[in-house]
Structure 1
Amino acid sequence: MLQMSRFQSSSRPFLLYRVGMPGCLRRLACLVCFLGALPAWAQDGHRVALQGGDQLMILAADGSTEWQRKWGGIHDLHVLPNGNLMVQEGAAAVVEIDKDSKDVIWKYDSRSQNTTAKKGTTEKPIEVHTFQPLPNGKVMIAETTRKRIIEVDRDGKVHSEVPLQVDHPHPHTDTRLARKLDNGHYLVCHEGDGTVREYDAAGKVVWEYQVPMFGRQAAGGHGPEAFGNKVFSAVRLENGNTLMGTGNGHSVLEVQPDGEIVWSIQQNELPGIRLAWVTTVQVLENGNRVIGNCHAGPGQPILIEIEPKTKKVVWTLDRFEDLGNNVSNSVVLED
């Protein structure tokens, strides 16, 4: 059974939940409603980087605000080894923000840099929904409309280009999250196609998986009432399987290379929780899985940590009151 505690931090209330909380901590949690944040020995959460409302934030393990600055909506987010944040700006730019000054110290804008439009012509709208800082210092960026992945250096020079297959092209849905794998391939979520594809360095599709509709008809909207297969995220696991957040499919699926589903979480499977637009999936060092639950509405968590073998919910984060209903990307920070 989930226990609920109400904490007060940064002048804003928020909710943290833990399963199996001992009686002494339950009583302490009740006191927190009146006395403020838990003492350090009783804190039991995660540091999290995310964007919600009009703020880009890092939350401490007790839920208090550790770092923030005003920022618009995003679909991808990375915290660099030096503590700086890499995030999208507007529809088509990727920037690095200095953690101390909070200034933008690097920027690549796909609409104005390395354009493919012929001289005297106007290129169709370009959007960037995903990117990845690479160990070699370059940045991988997926560009819609151009239907390509590029790797650029910090001077903006393109060092490689990989064409992408898009069956239902649209500037806003060609891609969602994409990641470069250890083998040099790219794992790309194509929202409009409802498909995850793995590409080699030449752009050849070497594996793909179409998210099933499970016999249901598509339904419009963004909340729990919607339905589709607009896949948002995919992670290649150590066992070779792929873990994916299915967007408006309201689920998390783990599939084998042959496409068999071997593990899943469905919309109403978790007690007291209803999944809406499932965005990010993250595997923690302890093996637990963190699910992003966007557009779920009040009273529903925006992040859910699950122990995969038992499917036991061990932690959730609910900040609807100050972060709103559109927290689409987050990163649990494991120091």
Structure 2
Amino acid sequence: MISLSRLGAIALVVTTISLPARAADPIKHGFLATGAETFIVDESGKVIWKCPHSSRDGWVLDNGNVLLALSKSKAYPGGGVAEIDKDGKEVFAFKGTQSEVNTVQPLGDGKVLLTEAGDKPRVLEVNRDGKVLAEVPLQAQTKDHHLQTRMTRKLPNGNYLVPQLLDRVVREYDPKGKIVWEVKTPHMPFTAIRLPDGNTLIGCTLGNLVIEVDKGGKEVWRVTNDDLPNKPINDAWGVQRLENGNTVITSHHATTKQTKLTEVTREKKVVWTYTDDRKSGIHHFQILDAKGKPEKNPLR
């Protein structure tokens, strides 16, 4: 006869038997890509929107329209910015007045930030009527306009964070154009992102690396091809820090069937990549959620 206490022990053993753990769902991302080709793909990799213009920077807005920094062309000889709806119609446009426009950022209340590269490099804020609301001169070399600035961003404190490629420096300017902070970089900086803790995340182009520096400019984190299998970084231009703490990096020089985007954890583990058949790489990007919406507080 088996005692009640023995039955209890058997029952306990049975209830502790577990099934094999279910594998975590693979990471998927939709995103807006800017560069020689401008397009949006969903999480399956299907193109759901595209634009005929070559672009430098861009944002999917809350209304579903796309705000772009446009490369120079016949229609935009000095580059420009445009907001384009789902049907491809321009609902707002501003033409650059110098050599190039390399940045765009929506500021709310209909205002837009952009940078102009040229003999007088500057940050502009304009409204939807094309009126210039703010102009901030930048201290940058003028020999090579193309390598003056890239992904400039207005900060919550009202200042501007500006990567300056050929100068190999990231600078923070106040609204009057005074430099209030700067850090030298190991290679030409393309993207500079001020993180909530005050650190700055920087994509360093042909150095094939991304660094994070603290308020004093000390490097506190770095990821390079030496940290990653198959060396996927090929010209680290665009960078985005996701809400989960992971970092997504472009490979601008990647071509057909090569890795265009790589997501790494803080521990430098690759958890997602994107590859396609396009010959051109991705200049910059914006990661989107499953519904094609941007993150609430995108760090890019």
TM-score w.r.t. the length of structure 1 is 0.74
What pairs up with 1:170-189 in 2 under 5 angstroms? Answer: 170-189=144-163
Q: Which of these residues, 202, 226, 247, is aligned with residue 205 of structure 2?
A: 247
CA distance in 1, matches of 2:222, 2:25: 32
Give the drift of 1:57. Answer: 1.4
In the alignment, structure 1 residue 312 sits paired with structure 2 residue 269: yes
CA distance in 2, matches of 1:203, 1:239: 24
Q: Which of these residues, 247, 269, 277, is aligned with residue 227 of structure 2?
A: 269
CA distance in 2, matches of 1:239, 1:89: 32
CA distance in 1, matches of 2:251, 2:263: 11
**Deviation string for 1:98-141 (max 9, x for gaps)?**
11x21112110022xxxxxxxxxxxxx52111121102321111
Q: Which of these residues, 275, 284, 287, is aligned with residue 332 of structure 1?
A: 287
Task: Tell me the equivalent position of 2:192.
Answer: 234
**Deviation string for 1:167-186 (max 9, x for gaps)?**
35422111111000011010
Amino acid across the alignment from 1:88: A
| Structure 1, unaligned runs of 5 or more | 1-21, 26-40, 112-124, 213-228
Residue pair 1:234, 1:244 contacting (<8 A) in 2 also: yes
Task: Tell me the equivalent position of 2:52.
Answer: 70
Larger radius of gyration: 2
Structure 1 pair 90–294 and aligned structure 2 pair: CA distance change class (3 A): closer
Task: Tell me the equivalent position of 1:4.
Answer: none
Amino acid across the alignment from 1:57: F
Q: Percent identity?
A: 39
CA distance in 1, matches of 2:51, 2:102: 20
Give the number of equivalent residue pairs: 264
Root-mean-square deviation (CA, aligned residues, Å) is 2.1
What pairs up with 1:116-265 in 2 under 5 angstroms? Answer: 125-145=98-118, 146-167=120-141, 169-212=143-186, 229-265=187-223
Three-state SS of the structure 2 residue aligned to 1:105 is strand
**Deviation string for 1:309-328 (max 9, x for gaps)?**
x2111101011x1x223311
Three-state SS of the structure 2 residue aligned to 1:133 is strand
CA distance in 1, matches of 2:25, 2:214: 39
Task: Tell me the equivalent position of 1:61.
Answer: 43
Give the drift of 1:24. Answer: 9.3
In the alignment, structure 1 residue 95 sits paired with structure 2 residue 82: yes
| Structure 2, unaligned runs of 5 or more | 1-19, 73-78, 294-300
In the alignment, structure 1 residue 110 sits paired with structure 2 residue 84: no
Amino acid across the alignment from 1:253: I
CA distance in 1, matches of 2:272, 2:262: 6
**Deviation string for 1:242-277 (max 9, x for gaps)?**
000001111000011212111001133201233221
CA distance in 2, matches of 1:303, 1:158: 35
Three-state SS of the structure 1 residue aligned to 2:56 is coil
Amino acid across the alignment from 1:129: N
Give the drift of 1:66. Answer: 1.9
Amino acid across the alignment from 1:314: V
Amino acid across the alignment from 2:247: R
Amino acid across the alignment from 1:131: V
TM-score w.r.t. the length of structure 2 is 0.82
Give the drift of 1:287. Answer: 1.5
